[in-house]
Amino acid sequence: MKKTTIAYIVFFAVMALIPFVSNNLWITIATTFCIFSVVALSVDIVLGRAGMFDMGHAVFFGLGAYATAIMNVHFEMNILMAIQVAILLPAIVAIVISSPIVHLRGDYLLVATVGFNIVFVQMLRNNFLGLTGGDDGIFGVDAEALGLYLDDPMIVYFMAFTLLLLTLLVIRNLEKSKAGRALHYVQEDPIASESIGINTRFYRVFSFSLGAAIAGLAGFIFTIQYTAVSPSAFDFMTSVMFFAIVLVGGKASIPGILAGTFIMFVLPEVFKGFETYRYFVFGIAMIVSMVLRPQGIFPAKYGKLPKYVTEDK
Amino acid sequence: MALLELKNVTKRFGGVVAMDALSFSVEPGQIYGIIGPNGAGKTTAFNCITSIYTPEEGEIIWKGKNITGKHPCDIAGLGIVRTFQNIRLFGKMSVAENIVSGRHQKSKQKWYQGLLNTPFFKKDEYDNWMKVREIMEFLNLMKYAKTPTNSLPYGIQRRVEIGRALATEPELLILDEPAAGLNDNETLELVELIFKIRDMGITVLLIEHDMDMVMQLVDYITVINFGKKISEGTPDFIQNDPVVIEAYLGSDDEEDE
Amino acid sequence: MDIFIQQIVNGLTIGSIFALVALGYTMVYGVMKLINFAHGDMVALSAYVGLVLYTQFVGSGMPQAFIIILVFLITALIIAAAGVILERLAYRPLRNAPRLSAVVSALGASMLIQNGIMLYWGPNILTFPIGIFPETSWVIFGATITFIQAFMLILTVVLMVSLTMFINFTKYGTAIRASSINQDAAKLMGINVNMVVTIIFIIGAVLGSVGGLFIGIYYRGIEFTLGWNYGLSAFIAAILGGIGNIPGSMVGGYLLGLFTALISGYVSSVWAEAFTYILLIVILIFRPTGILGERVAEKV
């Protein structure tokens, strides 16, 4: 067996065992890790694979979370039924807001996505349409469904872990498919891509929409975990963190992104005393890691082909 | 009926007329050459045909249908595909991954089938990669299958780019200075390759600076200068056409670029 | 009408801050094609340094005008030194790395400075004392213009005229312009690009330090996050004018100042920020290279 396969098996086994060998605090940390990894992986679809500088992805994470809370609290929808809104709303919003901007070159796109993030948070804070609850957000989400309290740490953990597994599966399939390859082609050379028949615009919007749907799902579980949402969790700083995770870990690299999420979100929980120094140390870490490994901790590898392409007949 | 026909196509950049009412037509099965001094507007013509530029005036007719102003990505779907003067490969990716990109239009899988890993998707992928294998064997690229293209020599990169174009199963292959940067040996191989491609039933349209190569390769030539057609005909005719000779003698110093 | 003119005056005052800070972004972007995210935090740092210096000097018996000049000069020196160090440590090693790596390094530098400020001076708002400048004000066309505002407007104009002269009429200015058009060609012509980069970081930091001190003396309350808030606005100003374009940034700064002031005056101040960003997105969609920027086509 290859080393990476073993590493994955060990990783999944540890993740599956966590709730049985540790206390609630650790289960909560592990849940956060799963949810944030999913968001980071969804940012990677846009940033790492399609190569668009998306620094506003917290919008889609937040849309999923708020959609869940709003549907449940204001419209008394069962929490599990809210899942469809939590997927579809971010996906549709992503199509609407990304369509006019995907043709922008690198930094301009980055600024536009930052702009969307700031407008989004201001809408949340100003109690948009009387639904978002202002600065305090929305409390009292009813997480009871199928006779279970879904906000129980153990249940939330398994939901988050399942979501992580599903996301990894989807990304693995994406990598091997025509659409996933097209994202890389569009990133490397849009003109050459068009010349062989790849609709660059479609795939750029597609990456935003797929990334948004996955981030929305993560938001759904995030809301269940805290049975509440508030604007500060989705501000522009959150987007910056995810942006940094992808690049520090390595674009289009699953182990890199998992490692990045671990460093950025789990380590600070372990060293609680260092809370105030957290971002100060991150700042140093970001500079040092980029200077030492400009391609990320685990850069993505190309040239993985199905066996039958090269083996002798 | 002509396969591809340009009718009075004009392209301007600001005040500069890069292509001035250019007309020519390519018949099925031909190897068609466009020659002319540097800056004559040859690449502009290709960029118009592949819709990277939209001409201000005139029509581009493909099999009797006007395709002017179509989206560039739809041109490949019609069966027109090109290579680039400066080689535009996906440099970080391997040769096989570059060639499989050309399957994009022919492959019928949908994005959600890929995400769900359906049986149809698996079959489609198998077909794609087998086609890539066939092309790599045809172009003698098997040993580079997993090599990133930016680490390969120029001549091989050219072949990869042609391979990527062939993967789209085109009817018209447009080559923008395919012999640029190649040594004599590689040029000879290229000429042979282009003949083979024509024999597969693919029409070839090319721009070339290497006159010896053009004369032995093509069936028909259009000569342009300052964006205008100054002559057209068979290689024998063009070689003896005083208008062409003058245009070339007048710009001899630019020839070797 | 009075409100209108008053908002124009206020808008030009804020616009001065935006324009000064925007110049730092635009000059670095012009030469290095890098969004220097840490620039806003340099501006914040200058406000804190200025406050410390002022409190040191204020009881020393020196004349007030002299103290003010001293505070501006020393702050500018310190921030310029910080700017040069920042470039050496965080950007120079990444000059040939993928562009996004430098962006992450810039974000890291920003977090480092911002949280450094927070750790050193604390997370609470610090206030500049009153009475730094005379409380005089004038009424023109029904609008009040304070001494501080007049001082800010005049100093900004002086700095901008000096910068324009420097860029257009000196050897170093030519080197900067050449490097921002084509770094490789500039290198071949014997221009020391490292020196050019150092110069633009110094100029950017000096202008930014003035902006930071303006924020302190105009709004009085300063917070460690002010770098992000003003930095992003100034960055928008740079984009409005066409990033990399020096006169564009000046115009962009004033336009954004006026726009913000008029929105807060007439529409709503809670939505002011959202409107600013919507304006930004609209401009990006329709004129991505800014109001004064040139359109660039890719060569195939």
Q: How confident is the model over A279-287, as a mean pLDDT?
A: 87
Select from B138, B169, B200 the last residue of a domain.
B169
Per-residue pLDDT band for A59 (boundaries 50, 70, 90) equals very high
In this structure, the answer to whether residues B157 and B215 fall within a common structural domain is no
Indicate the DSSP class of residue A48. Answer: I
In this structure, the answer to whether residues B69 and B97 fall within a common structural domain is no
User: What are the start-end ranges of the E strands in B56-155?
Assistant: 57-62, 65-66, 80-82
pLDDT at B89 over 90: yes
Question: Does residue C298 form part of some domain?
Answer: no
CATH number at residue C14: 1.10.3470
Select from B169, B199, B214 the last residue of a domain.
B169
Question: Does residue C231 form part of some domain?
Answer: yes
Question: Does residue C176 form part of some domain?
Answer: yes
Q: Identify the residue among A126, A240, A279 best suited for mutation to test binding to C, counting C beta carbons within 10 A and taking the highest.
A: A279
Which residues of B make CB contacts under 8 Å with C?
A: 43, 47, 52, 84
In this structure, the answer to whether residues B95 and B201 fall within a common structural domain is no
Question: Does residue A133 form part of some domain?
Answer: yes
Question: Does residue C243 form part of some domain?
Answer: yes
> Which residues of A fall within a CB distance of 8 Å from C104?
243-244, 247-248, 286, 290
For residue B163, give its domain range: 86-169
What pLDDT, on the 0 to 100 scale, is given for residue B227? 85
pLDDT tens, A208-236? 999 999 999 999 999 999 999 999 999 98
pLDDT tens, residue order, chain C (300 aa)? 578 888 899 999 999 999 999 999 999 998 888 889 999 999 999 999 999 999 998 888 888 889 999 999 999 999 999 999 999 999 999 988 888 899 999 999 999 999 999 999 999 999 999 888 888 888 888 888 999 999 999 999 999 999 999 999 999 999 988 888 888 888 888 888 889 999 999 999 999 999 999 999 999 999 999 988 888 889 889 888 888 888 888 999 999 999 988 888 888 778 888 888 898 888 888 887 777 665 555 555
Question: Does residue A306 form part of some domain?
Answer: no
pLDDT tens, A115-133? 999 999 999 999 888 888 8
Question: Does residue A104 form part of some domain?
Answer: yes
Average confidence score pLDDT of chain A: 89
In this structure, the answer to whether residues B3 and B63 fall within a common structural domain is yes
Residue contact C277–A110, C-beta within 8 A: no
Subunits adjacent to chain C (3 or more Cβ pairs under 8 Å): A, B
pLDDT tens, B162-192? 999 999 999 999 999 998 888 888 889 999 9
In this structure, the answer to whether residues B202 and B95 fall within a common structural domain is no
DSSP A190-251: HHHHHHTT--HHHHHHHHHHHHHHHHHHHHHHHHHHHT-B-GGGGSHHHHHHHHHHHHHH-T
* Partner residue opposite A173 with nearest CB, options B77, B104, B115: B115
> Which residues of C fall within a CB distance of 8 Å from A106?
99
* Partner residue opposite C115 with nearest CB, options A191, A280, A285: A280
What's the per-residue H, E or C state across B173-200?
Answer: EEEECCCCCCCHHHHHHHHHHHHHHHHC
Residue contact A308–B97, C-beta within 8 A: no
- Structural domains in chain B (count): 2
Residue contact A111–C236, C-beta within 8 A: yes
Question: Does residue A241 form part of some domain?
Answer: no
CATH number at residue B197: 3.40.50.300
C298 CA to chain B: closest CA distance, Å?
10
B120 CA to chain C: closest CA distance, Å?
37
Residue contact C281–A248, C-beta within 8 A: no
* Partner residue opposite C90 with nearest CB, options A244, A278, A287: A287
> Which residues of A fall within a CB distance of 8 Å from B75?
195, 197
- Structural domains in chain C (count): 1
Chain B residue with minimum CA distance to A187: B90
What's the per-residue H, E or C state across chain C?
Answer: CHHHHHHHHHHHHHHHHHHHHHHHHHHHHHHHCCCCCCHHHHHHHHHHHHHHHHHHHCCCCCCHHHHHHHHHHHHHHHHHHHHHHHHHHHHHHHCCCCHHHHHHHHHHHHHHHHHHHHHHHCCCCEECCCCCCCCCEEEECCEEEEHHHHHHHHHHHHHHHHHHHHHHHCHHHHHHHHHHHCHHHHHHCCCCHHHHHHHHHHHHHHHHHHHHHHHHHHHCEECCCHHHHHHHHHHHHHHHCCCCCHHHHHHHHHHHHHHHHHHHHHHCCCCHHHHHHHHHHHHHHHCCCCCCCCCCCCCC
In this structure, the answer to whether residues B211 and B240 fall within a common structural domain is yes
Q: Identify the residue among B70, B71, B108, B111 best suited for mutation to test binding to A, counting A beta carbons within 10 A and taking the highest.
A: B111
pLDDT at B250 over 70: no
Q: Say what the ipTM of the complex is.
A: 0.89
Question: Does residue A259 form part of some domain?
Answer: no
> Which residues of C fall within a CB distance of 8 Å from A256?
none
For residue A148, give its domain range: 25-233
In this structure, the answer to whether residues B141 and B181 fall within a common structural domain is no
Over the Cα atoms of chain A, what is R_g? 19
Question: Does residue A263 form part of some domain?
Answer: no
Residue contact C280–A282, C-beta within 8 A: no
Indicate the DSSP class of residue A22. Answer: S
Question: Does residue C291 form part of some domain?
Answer: no
What pLDDT, on the 0 to 100 scale, is given for residue C299? 53
Question: In this prediction, what percent of chain B has a pLDDT beyond 90?
Answer: 53
Q: Which amino acid would we find at residue C106? A: A
Higher pLDDT, A34 or C189: A34
For residue C162, give its domain range: 2-286
Question: Does residue C30 form part of some domain?
Answer: yes
Residue contact B81–A305, C-beta within 8 A: no
Select from B169, B193, B224 the last residue of a domain.
B169
Indicate the DSSP class of residue A189. Answer: -
- Structural domains in chain A (count): 1
Question: Does residue A107 form part of some domain?
Answer: yes
Residue contact B94–A193, C-beta within 8 A: no
Distance CA C13, CA C156 (A): 9
Chain C residue with minimum CA distance to B47: C300
Question: Does residue A223 form part of some domain?
Answer: yes
CB-based contacts of B209, cutoff 8 Å, min separation 6: B35, B177, B179, B180, B255, B257
Residue contact C111–A286, C-beta within 8 A: yes
